[in-house]
Amino acid sequence: GGAGVTRGYLNLPQADAERFIDSPFVCADRLYRSGDLVRQRADGLLEFLGRNDDQVKIHGLRIEPGDIQACLTAHPDIQQAVV
């Protein structure tokens, strides 16, 4: 959150509503819902636990396996696919 967070998506109010929330910590700040799951440890540090979706990173690129699966099964010769 804070000054480094964008104001939102251009002309996509629904995407804004899904991804951006008002900060409960600082008045008038917004937070971006990245999909990362973290917890605050007893020593105050944040620990990354994973993601709340199926997104993975391969060589720094964000990949949605479900999108690949949907593309594969859209082909007439493919009945089922698992990615």
In sequence order, what E strands does 1-83 have?
A: 20-22, 30-32, 36-40, 46-51, 56-58, 61-63
Paired with 37 in beta bridges are: 50
pTM reported for the whole predicted model: 0.57
- Tokens in use for 62? 């964000």
DSSP state of 66: H
* pLDDT for the residue 23: 85
28-51 pLDDT tens trace: 888 888 889 999 999 999 999 998
Residue 60: predicted pLDDT: 92
